[in-house]
Amino acid sequence: MESNIDGFITYLRNTKKISENTEMSYRGDLMKAKRYMEEQGIRDVKKITSTNLNSYILHLEKNKFSTATISRNIASLKAFYSYLYKENIVRENAAETLRAPKIERKAPEILSVEETERLMEQPLGDNIKEIRDKAMLELLYATGIRVTELVSLKADDLNLKMGYIVCRDGERERVIPFGERAGEALARYLGEAREKMTSAAETEYLFVNCSGQAMSRQGFWKLVKLYAGKANITKDITPQTLRNSFVAHLLENGADWQTVLCRYKGYSPRI
More confident residue, 30 or 265: 30
Is the pLDDT at 236 greater than 60? The verdict is yes
Q: Nearest CA to 84 among 179, 9, 163?
A: 9
- The region of weakest confidence among 94-103, 117-126, 180-189 is 94-103
Count the Cβ atoms, other than its own, within 10 Å of residue 92: 12
pTM: 0.57
Q: What is the model's pLDDT at position 77?
A: 93
Q: What is the mean pLDDT of residues 84-113?
A: 81
Q: What is the mean pLDDT of residues 69-87?
A: 91
- 137-196 per-position pLDDT tens digit: 999 888 888 888 899 999 999 999 999 999 887 667 889 899 898 999 999 999 999 988
More confident residue, 75 or 19: 75
Is the pLDDT at 233 greater than 60? The verdict is yes
Q: What is the mean pLDDT of residues 130-139?
A: 94
- Beta-strand runs (E) in the chain: 158-159, 164-169, 172-177
- 169-183 per-position pLDDT tens digit: 766 788 989 989 899
The sign of the torsion formed by the CA atoms of 78, 83, 88, 90 equals negative
- The region of weakest confidence among 42-51, 174-183, 237-246 is 237-246
Q: What is the dihedral of CA 38, 42, 48, 51, to 10 degrees?
A: -80
Q: What is the model's pLDDT at position 251?
A: 64
Residue 268's pLDDT band (cuts 50, 70, 90)? very low
- The region of weakest confidence among 81-95, 159-173, 257-271 is 257-271
Give the residues across from 167 on adjacent strands: 174
What is the spatial distance between Cα 95 and Cα 82, in angstroms, rounded to a whole number?
8
Taking every pair of Cα atoms in the chain, the longest distance, rounded to a whole number of angstroms, is: 63
Q: What is the model's pLDDT at position 260?
A: 45
DSSP state, 206? S
Q: What is the model's pLDDT at position 34?
A: 92
- Beta-strand runs (E) in 114-249: 158-159, 164-169, 172-177
